[in-house]
Structure 1
């Protein structure tokens, strides 16, 4: 059973989100679709995961919603050097006053697109008109192979969610699937949905971290990260939802791996409120 991390509401009191955490009971080199579930009266709209920064590093390869929208799935792997780790998965569940779970699902739009096979695959997916982009995710389709790890999963300007990944040192081409989650802008008998977003950029480092927080009037729905470097590469190992002094947001981390490659990482947080 997943642990409750925190619960938060928007300024109207109509939108409730709860963040849950599930940690693997034993260490492993690779995890595939490790799940963190939300309660039966909630719909999963976001999530994240923590692999490992040290001693060698375990990198994220997936963070996306389950097909039944009841859990968030996270995958990770060590790379070239052994680092068994206990993966942690986070899930953001949402409910809206006046709507049943089935009704809320009818106002949500889940999309996905898969890239072509490449060493550094990349793709974006949009939500349709009339919807606000509130979250997204990714899945690197690398197995079998040497490995291909996430470098970015974040909201772009407008209504697109972009995902990127890369092989590292050893050739390991793969495809990547980007996921978008949209909420209808006008909810009958509830109100109009407004989206809030914020981002922050780290300083340059071998293992950079960044934190961004939303205004407390928004309920957190999605988090993202983008690692940037001009060298061998920065890989994502941490994308975590947080609540700091009443403000929800995200803490993210990336790292170079076996080759020096300082860089920066950007943290993204998305939320909604009803007016």
Structure 2
């Protein structure tokens, strides 16, 4: 398969699955010249109020991150963005529109990486890159339907994460207002508590990479991984919508993107402002993360932060 294309499966509530070709948006390489990153995207038109899109990267790449972009003119919000833990080859996003605007367009993104000197087979065999998701038992906290996951193996560094809804009978999808890192090894997620129904349980997911790529047991002697976490300034809602962006430094490749909304600058409080876009973008010779949010149902204030995680190889 060409590096410039991938497969995207759009799964609608009616059960139909469509497969399309998507194209690469941009590529990058870390300062060592050995870790490569590529971003793909595809735009889908949905006739359903609920829509899930799965982007599968080419076989010699590993999917580590992704996002989704929606048009602000539609009453559509993000309900999930997370890794396929079974294959490490896909990123999955879900959206939901209200009944009056069920037709909507979404642009889904996948971030993939590959490492020169380590085959995709060895990455899989030795779990050099691995992802985990929680068990679906989210806490219905005061800050919405919230969950968190800490990277379970101390031999790994967190490079990305996501928010996943676990379908449950009699429940509905809640729009996500937070999916972001908390510290160096934990990813948190939260969704809006619905007034007329219980939310599907929300779980957090985390993606990690082995710290040491000079391990003789793996048969490689490349060096060690260094991560960089960047957070934007906290932006306050000044009109009916709010936007935030954060830039990745040169020599690091972007692997993880996140955003967090809160009604209070001092503590995490469920907002009445929700995300409609969280996406990776090219910026000069590097990349940036752009997060966008809008008021939900009625005017309200909120604070928005965006997050970027990058990696580079420190050669042996």
For the 8 Å contact 1:36–1:89, the answer to whether it is kept is: yes
For the 8 Å contact 1:232–1:260, the answer to whether it is kept is: no
Instruction: Say what the alpha-carbon RMSD is for the aligned residues.
Output: 1.9
- Whole-angstrom distance in 1 between the partners of 2:138 and 2:63: 28
The equivalences for 1:59-208 within 5 A come to: 59-66=77-84, 67-79=86-98, 81-105=100-124, 106-113=127-134, 114-116=136-138, 118=140, 120-127=144-151, 128-141=153-166, 144-188=170-214, 189-200=221-232, 201-205=234-238, 206-208=240-242
- Aligned pair count reads 273
Deviations 1:170-204 (A, max 9, x none): 34333101100110111121111000121113232
- Whole-angstrom distance in 1 between the partners of 2:139 and 2:149: 17
- Whole-angstrom distance in 2 between the partners of 1:259 and 1:147: 20
Q: CA deviation at 1:41?
A: 0.7
C-alpha distance 209-266 of structure 1, shift in aligned 2 (>3 A): same
Q: CA deviation at 1:169?
A: 4.7
For the 8 Å contact 2:138–2:203, the answer to whether it is kept is: no
Matched, 1:12 2:32: yes
Secondary structure class of the residue paired with 2:101: coil
Which region of structure 1 is more displaced relative to structure 2, 72-81 or 265-274?
72-81
Match of residue 273 from structure 2: 234
- Whole-angstrom distance in 2 between the partners of 1:268 and 1:89: 18
Quick one: which of 246, 255, 259 aligns to 1:212? 246
| Structure 1 unmatched ranges of 5 or more | none
Secondary structure class of the residue paired with 2:104: coil
For the 8 Å contact 2:157–2:210, the answer to whether it is kept is: yes
Deviations 1:195-245 (A, max 9, x none): 012111323233111010111110110100101125751211111001111
Matched, 1:24 2:44: yes
For the 8 Å contact 1:117–1:174, the answer to whether it is kept is: no
For the 8 Å contact 1:168–1:232, the answer to whether it is kept is: no
Q: CA deviation at 1:84?
A: 1.9
Q: CA deviation at 1:115?
A: 2.8
Match of residue 258 from structure 1: 297
- Whole-angstrom distance in 2 between the partners of 1:271 and 1:122: 25
C-alpha distance 74-142 of structure 1, shift in aligned 2 (>3 A): same
C-alpha distance 100-74 of structure 1, shift in aligned 2 (>3 A): same
For the 8 Å contact 1:140–1:150, the answer to whether it is kept is: no
For the 8 Å contact 1:222–1:271, the answer to whether it is kept is: yes
Secondary structure class of the residue paired with 2:28: strand
TM-score of the pair, normalised by structure 2: 0.81
Q: CA deviation at 1:35?
A: 1.2
Q: CA deviation at 1:27?
A: 4.2
Misfit runs of 4+, over 4 Å: none
| Structure 2 unmatched ranges of 5 or more | 1-20, 215-220, 265-269
